[in-house]
A and B are shown apart, each in its own frame.
Chain A
Amino acid sequence: MIHARGLVHTFSTRRGREKVDVPAVQGVDLDVAPGEIVAFLGPNGAGKTTTLRILTTLLRPTAGTARVAGFDVTTESVQVRQHIGYVSQSGSTSSVARAGDEVVDHGLLYGIDRAAAERRARELFAQLDLDGMWSRQPKSLSGGQRRRLDVAMGLIHDPALVFLDEPTSGLDPQARANLWSHIADLRDRRGTTVFLTTHYLDEADALSDRLIVIDHGRIVASDTAENLKAGVAGDLVHLEVSDLAKVQVAAQWLEALTGGSGVEVDATSVRGRVARAGTVIQGLMRELDRVGVTLTSIEVRPPTLDDVFLNLTGRSLRDDAAA
């Protein structure tokens, strides 16, 4: 559904009098199969938005090629637009228009005849829990409703591929969960391919079949969440030692299990990554008990996507979202 090879985009900006080329995307290769839900992740400024804009024909690549929904994004951009839906994070409807009119008009711009556009729009309103919102002004809708209206706009022409840009940013947890189920439905009921960008790792984890991570304008990972997590060196073992004097002893024992990745010691806390921690933790506790180390707490946490992200980009996605 998407095949991109060597995508490059360089922005020219002026810094003072000098003209500076800022490379935003530097050779992106990307493949998405029909029916997949793919989450596209990356810190701010990693080239996420630029890549998305190239794939949706809003931006021409400086170099490289991309075929989206079977058409070339530069030479057949009109056909690409005809076959994809795009739900931008900045919205798509005027706050003072009528919700139903906006969706029907959008359909007309896709060349759908009026009756069909209206029928499809009504169907989408029903599917997306927007019943009764047809004559309302978008400004009077809740955040979740307005975002679902944007989704309806993006689906009016029944595209085979939908791009969702940060679909749930700014929504409350309930509205997010609701939108997730609608996004999952897209694929399960209609076989739509979904390509979404997100800041939320739990969203990527819950929704997508596969994650693609971009950093510094290059793809640094593309795999299932499980495989990516398995690639992180083991589970995090976090010990709290009751006696400060025994911390070093505990650290030595834990370090022996980390396979050389080392431990972090901070006051009475000792952390380290241990492969398949469940199989060795009992032995560790027995040994610590034998040498007289008492623990106030022990925590074993399997790797999260945030660990994956930290590993790949050296940055936590959460820090980035807060920034």
Chain B
Amino acid sequence: MTFAYQTFVVFRRQLRMNLRNPAWVIIGMLQPVLYLLLFGPLLKPLVAQFGAVNAYTFFVPGLLVQLGIFGAMFAGFSLIGEWREGVVEAERVTPASRTALLLGRMSRDVLQLLTQALLLVGLGFAMGMRAPLRGVLLGVLLTLLIGSACAAASNAVALTAKSEEVMAPLMNLFLMPILLLSGILLPMTIGPAWLQRASDVIPVKHVVDAVRSSFAGDLATTAVLWGTVWTAVLFALALWWGTRVFRRENA
């Protein structure tokens, strides 16, 4: 009860500050919408070559995962600001659970992601996407989980680096191969064999495959299984890491 309540207090505080300064939320939301509107039409004449039927059923899942990863990765930047203003330290001298301090912040990121995901899915449907409800639910759920994992990791990196100058290039270094090798924009199956092998080691690619497969209505595939396993593993690892950093003495 107290743990849940502390998490809620941290969450509400974060949400209140976000709502007071919604510029970042809007910018974060604009990105996938622009991709959908401006890149989606380019895929239309090409989808037949991927073995897909509907360009948006193919593309929306990729964008969802991209949104989850990229949006959440920037959660850490606001934490650096809070750390610099002494907020993190002030919270750490209260008896509140350190995990609650992290989970409260992650909850804000998840809520933000959920709003963006619903918007994106809604827009996808409006543009002609076809997907079963069950598939959409599973896809969004996976997106939220991978998003929370990234938010936790991003917070962990933020409290370790404690500097935007260090964190920004680090994030770019990390996100670039993910964007290129996880099949978010185009499926890896149309690439040469070596590129496909390279993408196999990127866990996010399996998550994208799983979300894509569930949107296509194929819920009982190995792609969904692997993607779910990877999502669960990444979520557990990131949560453990984030909690460890929040507990650590000099954070």
Q: A residues engaging B (CB < 8 A)?
A: 56-60, 78-79, 81-82, 84, 86, 88, 90-97, 101-102, 105-106, 108-111, 150, 153
Contacts and interface: CB of A to CB of B under 8 A. Distances in A.
B86 A91 contact: yes
A92 B90 contact: yes
A86 B93 contact: yes
Contacts, number: 77
Nearest to A57: B93
Given A60-B249, A101-B13, A111-B2, A106 B85 contact: no
B94 A110 contact: yes
Contacts of B95: 78-79, 81-82, 109-111
Contacts of A59: 249-250
Contact of A90 (B10, B89, B96, B249): B89
Given A81-B93, A90-B84, A58 B249 contact: yes
B189 to A, nearest CB: 46
A94 B94 contact: no
A82 B94 CA distance: 6
Nearest to B250: A59
Nearest to B251: A58
Contacts of A82: 95
A238 B86 CA distance: 46
Given A59-B249, A109-B9, A88 B94 contact: no
Given A58-B93, A58-B249, A105-B13, A96 B6 contact: no
- Chain B CB within 10 A, most for which of A79, A101, A106: A106
B248 to A, nearest CB: 10
B193 interface: no
B225 interface: no
Nearest to A110: B94
Interface string B1-15: 010011001101100
Interface in B60-92: 81-82, 84-87, 89-92
Interface stretch (B16-24, B37-45, B124-132): B16-24
- Chain A CB within 10 A, most for which of B12, B81, B92: B92
B89 to A, nearest CB: 5
